[in-house]
Amino acid sequence: MSYVDEVLAQVKTKNGNEPEFIQAVTEVLESLRVVIEANEEQYRRDALLERLTTPERCILFRVPWVDDKGQVQVNNGYRVQFNSAIGPYKGGLRFHPSVNLGILKFLGFEQVFKNSLTGLPIGGGKGGSDFDPKGKSDREVMAFCQSFMTELCKYIGADTDVPAGDIGVGGREIGYLFGQYKRIRDLYEGVLTGKGLSYGGSLARTQATGYGLLYLTDEMLRCNGKTLEGKTVVVSGAGNVATYAIEKAWQLGAKPVTCSDSNGWIYDPDGIDVATLIDVKQVRRARLTEYAKARPNAQYHEGKGVWTVKCDVALPCATQNELNLEDAKALVANGCFAVAEGANMPTTLDATKYLQESGVLFCPGKAANAGGVATSALEMTQNSERLSWTFEEVDSKLKTIMVNIFHNLDDAAKKYGMEGNYVAGANIAGFLKVADAMSAQGIV
Gap between the Cα atoms of 163 and 370, Å rounded = 15
How many other CB atoms are found less than 10 A from the CB of residue 13? 8
Say whether 126 is catalytic.
yes
Among 165, 200, 201, 364, binds ligand NDP (CB under 6 A): 165
Q: Give the interface segment with ligand NDP, choosing from 56-64, 218-226, 255-263, 328-336 (CB under 6 A).
A: 255-263
Near ligand NDP in 183-242, by CB under 6 A: 209, 237-242
Burial class (CB in 10 A: 0-12, 13-18, 19+), 81: buried
Segment contacting ligand 2IT (CB under 6 A): 87-95, 147-155, 229-237, 262-270? 87-95
With CB under 6 A as the contact rule, the residue among 317, 339, 378, 380 that binds ligand NDP is 317
Return the range that interacts with ligand 2IT (CB under 6 A); candidates 12-20, 153-161, 368-376, 387-395: 368-376
Q: Which residues contact 57 (CB under 8 A, 6 or more apart)?
A: 80, 81
Question: Which of 83/118 has CB closer to ligand NDP?
Answer: 118
User: What residues between 111 and 150 interact with ligand 2IT by CB under 6 A?
Assistant: 111, 114
| Number of residues engaging ligand NDP in binding (CB under 6 A) | 23
User: What's the min distance (Å) between Cβ of 247 and ligand 2IT?
Assistant: 18
Q: Which does 91 bind (CB under 5 to 8 A by kind): ligand NDP, ligand 2IT, none?
A: ligand 2IT
User: Do residues 172 and 92 lie in contact, with contact meaning Cβ atoms separated by under 8 Å?
Assistant: no
> Of the candidates 348, 369, 408, 427, which one interacts with ligand NDP according to CB under 6 A?
369
Site for ligand 2IT in 88-117 (CB under 6 A): 90-92, 111, 114
Among 20, 166, 173, 268, binds ligand NDP (CB under 6 A): 166
CB-based closest residue to ligand 2IT: 92
CB-based contacts of 54: which residues, under 8 Å, 6+ apart? none
Among 193, 202, 382, 408, binds ligand 2IT (CB under 6 A): 193
Question: Is 373 near ligand 2IT (CB under 6 A)?
Answer: yes
Amino acid at 241: V
Q: Which of 252, 262, 264, 323 is nearest to 289 (CA)?
A: 264
Provide Rg for the chain, Cα atoms. Answer: 21
Segment lying near ligand NDP (by CB under 6 A), choices 225-233, 266-274, 316-324, 436-444? 316-324
CB under 8 Å to 16, separation ≥6 — which residues? 22
The one catalytic residue among 126, 136, 231, 366:
126
What residue 193 binds from ligand NDP, ligand 2IT, none (CB within 5 to 8 A, per partner kind)? ligand 2IT
Q: Does position 175 bind ligand 2IT by CB under 6 A?
A: no
**Minimum separation from the CB atom of position 122 to ligand NDP (A):** 13
Of 99, 180, 196, nearest to 143 by C-alpha is 180
Which lies closer to ligand 2IT via its Cβ, residue 308 or residue 376?
376
User: Per rule CB under 6 A, is residue 164 in the interface with ligand 2IT?
Assistant: yes
Q: Which is nearer to ligand NDP, 280 or 412 (CB)?
A: 280
Looking at the Cβ atoms of 405 and 435, the one nearer to ligand NDP is 405
What's the sign of the alpha-carbon dihedral 183, 180, 195, 91?
positive
Can you tell me which of 168, 175, 201, 256 binds ligand NDP, judged by CB under 6 A? 168
Region binding ligand NDP by CB under 6 A among candidate stretches 45-53, 74-82, 155-163, 261-269 = 261-269
Say whether residue 376 binds ligand 2IT (CB under 6 A).
Answer: yes
Residues labelled as active-site residues: 126
Q: Which residues bind ligand NDP (CB under 6 A)?
A: 165-168, 170, 209, 237-242, 261-263, 317-319, 342-344, 369, 372
Q: Which residues bind ligand 2IT (CB under 6 A)?
A: 90-92, 111, 114, 164, 166, 193, 344, 372-373, 376
